[in-house]
Structure 1
Amino acid sequence: MLTKEKLRLEFTKDWEKHYKIDFLIDQGFIRKVCPKCGRGYWTLDEDREHCPDQPCQFYEFLDNPPTSKRFDYVQTWKVIEDFFRKHDHASIRRYPIVCRWRPDLFFTIASIIDFQRLEKNEVIFQFPENPLIVPQFCLRFNDIPNVGVTGRHYSCFCMIGQHSLFDGHQGYWKDRCIELDFKLLSGPFGIKPEEIVFLENLWVGPGALGPSLEYFVRGLEIGNAVFTQFKSINSNITEMKEKIIDMGAGLERFAWITQGTPTSYDVTFEPILRYLKKQTGIKYDAEFFLRYSKLAGSLNLDEVKNIRKMREQIANQLGVTLDLLDQKIKPLEALYAISDHTMGLTFAIADGLLPSNVGGGYNLRVILRRALSFIDEFRWNIDLIDVCELHARHLKLICPELSENLNEIQKILEIEKKRFHETKLRTKRIVEAIIQKGEKIDEERLIKLYDSEGITPELVQDYIQDLKIPVDFYVKVTEKHMRESKITIQEPIDVSGLPPTELLVYDDPKKTEFQAKVLRMIDDKWVVLDKTYFYATSGGQLSDVGFIEDFPVSDVQKVGDVVVHRILGKLKEGQVVNCNINNYRRESLTKNHDAVHIVLASAREVIGQWVWQAGSEVTTDKARLDITHFESLTDEQIEKIEEKANEIIKKNLPIKIEVLPRNEAEKKYGFRIYQGGTVPEGRLRIVSIGNIDHECCGGTHGNSTRDVGFIIILKTKRIQDGVNRIEFSTGDVALKYLREKERILTETARLLKVTEEKVPEAVKELFETWKTRRKELRKLKKK
């Protein structure tokens, strides 16, 4: 099997093919090989001996920036944006940090993810503009222990994405990419050309790979230009017809190198840190911290096994004890981490994700509770919503939408803070019980305490002073939640050799009788037709039933592009058959599916913009909708959702269905179309209810909201952390439900011998009487 390292060595052998850039040659760059690490690099400096990456070269820009101008974080983006706009790039707005368009990712982890889509198990690229530049904010959780420590690691950061699709006619390829990046550094940033070094590397992603050139200045990697030009399937590497420029650069690092501050956090979070230092009263020894920062880059917790020993070495070099080093540095590291974590929370919550104990919400709760733990540890008076508001204000020129969601962010953070402090109260009891039993609290137990009780290691440390918290603790608890794991187990149905079934249900949803030809009987129970109007189970909606000839159809499924119908009987291949669909069931399913969309839109308006669909099921009698929300629904909210849903029905809003190219659908309606998950197709079927709801959906739908009749919410319950289930009925079934409720009320009033209006009062009186009699009975039994 070809590993990344083996591939890199293969690419290095053929460096002229992969890394020789005419522009660099024309500028006088020469290729050298580093004697320490063996990697190839390109430089204008004939006397340079080593490559620019650590540990072959350390930072030489701290307190000594190489740029001719100094820019703050937002100014840095504006300089980069202006440069690329002048060079014919479209500047587009960031995509959500919550990745709704990739089923295998919870978060946007790189700018190129914006333009990747899955179609038929293959990653394809779709660009809204070509070429383009984007300030893509990303979330990654593999560096949590390094955040605040090394000066350069983040969980939330902005990746400047410079992207182009090159097919020989449009876009550009390697030479133009490197030319632009070189001119960006040497032009508006004023970095001397001889300071710029390009390091050869290789990028390997899901199903694709390509050579890359990382560019460094004074030991700092600023960007990485990846030339995605090969497909990789089962170690078989082939050239792509359309090649991709994927240059990703950290906005944090660009801003950092213009300032030369001790850490990149000092420039990235400048207004936030100014507020936090004032709020906490931390004394900042600038001279000492600069000396420390030049050594702190070596504290990468992924690479250093004994962090304490490394800290002791740094303390010795600085001429202080380890305790004094920790007193000076630990509070600052905590402020840096709080700044980073609150930025990630601001973006993720604004983009519709809630902290919880499942999925991507789990990772959000990790950084939220880590931030709260730091605040408690140092007994600081910091309110996280104030920090989030500062982030929104600071980033307004790049991401104005953050300010629009502050009320919702505040509401969610208040709930989470309350839960965290409730957890603190439980911690003492739980930890004391473990100690009394003589049980050991090791790494495995810490992870279990966090997963099952939400107890952070820092909370445990309050009661066990000498507890050693594993440096990679937060990496281990988050990595298993980084990807969704959806396993569908179903009876295998062999449809090999069959052509795709012609799906006609969308052409004429009212049609319930048709003729078709039998292509195959499978296992004496599944029949495949050349075409069908039967709806196959999908998207939570049950299938149609009916008859093929005189044989009942009890289930319809889709296997790939082939529709299979389960029947009680046998048919012959080639036979032309008469098919009949149960119209009453079709109409009931259609009304209930329309109702799912209506209730979702209503819930979002009543509760908040963080409401997303977390699941649904559409049957003939009722439908259920699972929505994201941080607490149980109140009676008032349920009543308002029902009222809003029936208002929408009364308005007789049109239900419009259109099939659009994916790019066009996303551009027109945004990423809220992915309520039921992603769809691995290039063209999407969008169901719109007036102007209030637009979703990618494959279900059956009516022409107007009035067709639904009315909606009755039957019950709601909180099925897991962050998810509520709403069950409801429509039309005749809802009417039947109301009549049954009325019958029960009438019968109860008769038995209690009161009017219907007096039933609640009479029941309460009866209950109080029963409680009194029960107490009296217990007293008598004791005698």
Structure 2
Amino acid sequence: MEELRTRMFTGMNFYRKQCPYCKHHFWTLNKDQESCGDQPCTPYLFIGNPPGKFRPESIRDVRERFLQFFERHGHVRIRRYPVVARWRSDVYLVGASIYDFQPWVTEGIVPPPANPLTLSQPSIRFTDIDKVGRSGRHLTGFEMMAHHAFNYPDKYVYWIDETVEYAHEFFTKELGLRDDEITYKENVWEGGGNAGECLEVLVGGLEVATLVFMHYRTVDGKYVEMPMKIVDTGYGLERIYWLLTGKPTVYDAVFGSFIERLRSKLGLPKPSDEMLMHMATYFGQLDPEVTSIEKAYEYISSKVGLDVGEVRNILKAQETLYILSDHGRTLSWMMADGAIPSNSGVGYLGRLLLRRMLRSMYVVGIEMPLTEIMNMELEFLRDDYPEVYEERQTILELVDLEERKFRELLRQAPGVIERVIRDRERRTGKRELSVDDLVTLYDSQGLPPEIVREIASSKLGIGVAVPDDFYSRLAARYQRQVGEEKPKVDVNPVEVQDLPQTKELFYEDMRLFRFNARVLRVIRGKYVILDQTAFYPEGGGQVADHGVIKHGRGEARVIDVQRVGPVIVHVIEGEAPGEGEVVEGIVDGVRRLDLMRMHTATHILLQSIRRVLGRHVWQAGAEKNVPFSRLDVTHYKLPSRDEIRKIEELANQAVLANQPVIIRWLGRTEAESKFGVYIYQGGVVPGAKLRIVQVGSDDEPYDVEACGGMHVSRTGEIGMIKIVRVEKIQEGVVRFIFTTGRHALSYAESLEDSISEISELTGVSKDAVVKGVNELVSDVRRMEGRVKALMRKAIKSDISEALGREVVIGRVGFTYIEYEGEDRSYIQEFAKEYLSNRPNTVLLVINRLNNGTEYLVYLGSESSKRVSVKDIMARLNEGVNGKGGGSATYGQGFTQTKPSIDVFVNIVKSVLQTININS
């Protein structure tokens, strides 16, 4: 690549060579150097023999030396961004420092916060998660130290020559490396929709930095030149620290004191430094995707002169310490930024880390609670990440919750695995587990594949092959996918692309409810586009305005308003106006004011929830509607009654304070610099300028968000915020249903009416209603206890009756029982009780109903291996003219006729006889 022939390479007489192994070109001052200096082409040369003169006492020394170096060279230091990329819709997590500036800065939409700039950005990548703890160098979480320069067509900052010179000066002058110890390998980098040539900086067999010269946009797999040229560098803080300490692995360098404290607590043996050096050196050159882990153990065993079993045991224990160190820090970063472990979204990736930590502990027999280990690590991280330590209580509570779920999962695991194996055997005839089954068991049940393999082998006698890159495969499936929203109206953007952008009067005056406008287009008699409008279109969780459009031939009701491209479309019912006609629009002002109260209340309520439940809370969805609105937030459990009361009190205090609601337009960079990424509570907001809604004064704002919705001018106009209901709608998401203003008053009145009605029904005064209801509930519970006792007696009698009828047909038992209009829950309890002691039985239940006959088939755990519910139900349906189906162990059908019990019994017997004859 001729572009990478820099003035430094030319001036210092660097040699340009080609690596015989990877075929990449590289630059070096060492004329005898053959390989590129990267793994696996070159062995580690720095372990036990660190290069350079700088010997840092802590990782902070390296970070500070880097940032100060670039500050002295004219760069502005900026604070690090969160690891959860709230400002982006294409990724969940920040994977490099350039993610902070994509796409808004890199596309030239907004200016960068400084130019040039420097920072040290915590970053997370799951690409090599299966190598963490094994290779000695891979991490899921790392700090990418960086300096960036953004070159515009009319403003040049610096480019390739200066970038390479900065890197060389930093490594030689600041860290004391020799010129000939540094290799620059040529490559091409792609990421986040951008690309460019790059130079990888290598020292002693280790890549320590990458210098990317970004000037392409990737479009349909092709490179398109950008107007901007961006210097995008990444210096690995942890790797540079490892290099300068010469420790056996990056984990020993970065987490050394924590690992030793944990090792002591767990009583694990400590390998010698020589042993660790051999492991790191050899393992570092082996790729699990190419060579299996077992072969790697054998290879290392031959090199270090130890039995392969001993090597495996030592590595497993070491690997666990390393995994706990790396994953614990990454998980702490994520949870401190509001990523709650769950089955979806960014929470899925958090749970992946947690389950991998718990799996590693299980494999080596660690019984110490993970909360204790995480607490130790949070103390270790305290000085470097004080903002993470502040969330310590929430992090530990989340870990404890997940650990309890995991232990319950282990208890249920054998039965779950057996069912999956049985299902596969029925479908394919093979008693085995595939990789797809392992993925299903992880995604649906949370069972790590190593635990599945152990249980399947020890308890079921089945061998299971687990891919070495299993967790990388899982993580790759969970990158954010942004689907296009389905249009809310039947108007193709092509139909309106020639029209000018609709003037948005609702932003000029949110209390403008009457206006005049010209009709630009009427589509299919029900979609009207005006040149300007005061009707607010649905957006930001706020529903659209309603009202009427008056015109020469009458009026049309506006029932919906939506954006389509640059125009606003009014959906009408009634006579449509004519194109070119001047009409009068009348917005339903009462409804609009209600929605304004709801929207501002949503901001206040969200902030109140965060203040009570914690900063991990983020908006997960909202609908501002009347008479009730909803707000979905990320939280790991249902709030207590006391917490809900505190949230409501705090929200209403903000209302009573009658604080101003200030709306201003700010440049994206200015808004982020001033308020942080919290402004994206409602999701990613496009555009160079953001409409910022601030509740409260500039001195002490209560809440600040980027929002396009309608709001009151002071909080006192809301009247009152009343939480109606709180419910858990999915794992990690809690929904608040609330109301405001006159609707809150109506709700309070309806509660009063309900209390009055209960008072009349129970014959007690309103004041004594709660006491009376409690007494009724106690009576009901006592009665339920008696009913259950009677049901157990009845079931015992029915079991005795069914046992008396049971016969053996071939290799399974068969029995039946008949009921008249029996409750389904009773039948299920009877079947469960019967088959728990008779697992090799087929049970037929006939239940006579007023409108026909219900027939139910239950299989025990053993009989289900030999008998197909599908076959029995097919024959029953045919024989009694009924309809039904079933699962592996249960079938249900219904016929409008009333055949005798013998008809059902003889059909099932004939099916069982056929099955046993064939078998």
| TM-score normalised over the length of structure 2 | 0.80
**What CA distance in whole angstroms lies between the structure 2 residues aligned with 1:54 and 1:263?**
14
Q: Which residue of 1 aligns with 2:467?
A: 470
1:375 aligned onto 2:367: no
Q: Deviations over 1:506-525 (max 9, x none)?
A: 11001111111111122322
Listed as ranges, the matches of 1:50-449 within 5 Å are 50-71=35-56, 72-118=58-104, 126-167=111-152, 169-234=155-220, 237-282=223-268, 283-302=270-289, 304-434=290-420, 439-449=431-441
> How big is each residue's C-alpha offset from its partner over 1:255-300, in whole Å with a ceiling of 9 and x where there is no partner?
1111221111111112211211211222222212212221111232
Measured in 1, the distance between the counterparts of 2:787 and 2:44 equals 82
Cα distance, 1:305 vs structure 2: 4.4
Write the deviation string for residues 209-237 of structure 1: whole angstroms up to 9, x where unpaired.
21111111122111110001123434564
Equivalent position SS for 1:330: helix
C-alpha deviation, 1:747, in angstroms: 1.7
1:727-749 Cα distance to aligned partner (Å, 9 max, x none): 01111111111111111111211
Match of 1:622 in 2: 628
- 1:477 corresponds to which letter in structure 2? L
Residue matched to 1:504: 505
1:702 aligns with 2:687: no
> Residue 695 of structure 2 aligns with which residue?
689
SS in 2 for 1:187: helix
Structure 2 spans left out of the alignment, 5+ residues: 426-430, 458-462, 798-919
What displacement does 1:533 show? 1.2
| 1:484 to 1:536, Cα distance in 2 relative to 1, 3 A | same
Per the alignment, residue 739 of structure 1 pairs with 749
Q: Which residue of the partner structure matches residue 860 of structure 2? A: none
Instruction: Specify which of 776, 782, 785 is matched with residue 766 of structure 1.
Output: 776
What do the CA deviations read for 1:47-75 (whole angstroms, capped 9, x no partner)?
A: 32332223332222222222123223222
Once the two structures are overlaid, the 10-residue window that deviates more, 381-390 or 490-499, is 381-390
8 A contact 2:109–2:687 mirrored in 1: no
1:363 is paired with a residue of what secondary structure?
Answer: helix
- The Cα shift of 1:768 comes to 4.3
Q: Does the alignment pair 1:557 with 2:554?
A: no
Aligned partner of residue 505 in structure 1, secondary structure? helix
Deviations 1:715-760, CA, capped at 9 Å, x for gaps: 1111100001110111111111111111111121122111112222
1:634 alignment counterpart:
640
| 2:769 aligned partner, one-letter code | V
Aligned residue for 1:215, secondary structure, equals strand
Is the contact between residue 117 and residue 125 of structure 1 (CA under 8 Å) also seen in structure 2? no
> CA 1:36/1:369 → structure 2, altered by over 3 Å: closer, same or farther?
closer
The alpha-carbon deviation at position 538 of structure 1 amounts to 0.4
Counterpart mapping for 1:527-566 below 5 A: 527-549=528-550, 550-566=555-571
Shift of 1:330: 1.2
For 2:517 and 2:276, locate their aligned partners in 1 and report how far apart those are by CA, in whole Å.
78
Paired AA for residue 250 in structure 2: S
TM-score scaled by length of structure 1: 0.93
Q: Does 1:479 align with 2:466?
A: no
1:49 is matched with: 34
Task: Tell me the distance in 2 between the aligned counterparts of 1:630 and 1:779.
Answer: 39
Q: What amino acid does structure 2 have at the position aligned with 1:295?
A: Y
Contact 2:681 2:705 in 1 (8 A): yes
Please tell me whether Structure 1 or Structure 2 has the larger radius of gyration of its CA atoms. Answer: 2
Task: Give the partner amino acid of 1:618.
Answer: K
3-state secondary structure, aligned to 1:145: helix
Instruction: Tell me the distance in 2 between the aligned counterparts of 1:271 and 1:124.
Output: 45
Considering only aligned residues, what root-mean-square deviation do their CA atoms show, in Å?
Answer: 2.3
Choose 172-181 or 630-639, whichever is displaced more. 630-639
Indicate the SS of the match to 2:174.
coil
How far does residue 383 in structure 1 lie from its aligned partner after superposition?
4.4
Identity of aligned residues (%): 37
Comparing 238-247 with 127-136, greater Cα deviation is found at 238-247
Q: How many residues align?
A: 766
Evaluate the alpha carbon distance shift between residue 363 and residue 236 of structure 1 in structure 2; reply closer, same or farther with a 3 A threshold.
closer
The CA distance in 1 between the partners of 2:29 and 2:524, in whole Å, is 71
State which drifts further: 458-467 or 644-653.
458-467
Look up the equivalent residue of 2:569 and give its one-letter code: V
Counterpart Cα distance in 2 of 1:23 and 1:778: 89
Describe the shift of the 1:50–1:635 C-alpha distance in structure 2 as closer, same or farther (beyond 3 A).
same
Instruction: Indicate which of 662, 665, 671 corresponds to 2:677.
Output: 671
Q: In structure 2, what is the equivalent of residue 715 of structure 1?
A: 725
Q: Which amino acid is the alignment partner of residue 279 of structure 1?
A: K
Work out whether 1:459 is the aligned partner of 2:425. Answer: no
Alpha carbons of 1:763 and 1:295: their partners in 2 closer, same or farther (altered >3 Å)?
same
Residues 55-107 of structure 1 deviation map (CA, whole Å, 9 limit, x = unaligned): 33222222222212322322211221221122122222211011101011110
Deviation at 1:239, TM superposition (A): 3.2
- C-alpha separation in 2, matches of 1:102 and 1:768: 53
**Does 451-460 or 179-188 show the bigger shift?**
451-460
Q: What letter is aligned with 2:243?
A: I
Q: Kindly provide the amino acid, as one letter, of the partner of residue 472 in structure 2.
A: V
Deviates more, 1:242-251 or 1:46-55: 46-55
In the alignment, is the contact (CA less than 8 A) between 1:673 and 1:695 conserved in 2? yes
Whole-Å separation in 1 of the counterparts to 2:439 and 2:89: 27
Partner of residue 763 from structure 2, selected from 746, 749, 753: 753
Give the stretch that moved more between structures: 76-85 or 220-229.
76-85
Per-residue deviation, 1:540: 1.1
Q: Structure 2: how far apart are the matches of 1:219 and 1:606? A: 51
- Report the AA paired with residue 407 of structure 1: Q
Q: Equivalent residue for 1:4?
A: none
Cα 1:779–1:291 change in 2 (3 A) is: closer
Unaligned runs of 5+ in 1: 1-14
Paired with 1:582 and 1:275, the residues of 2 have a C-alpha distance of 67
Compared CA separation, residues 525 and 38, structure 1 to 2 (3 A): same
Comparing 656-665 and 368-377, the one that deviates more: 368-377
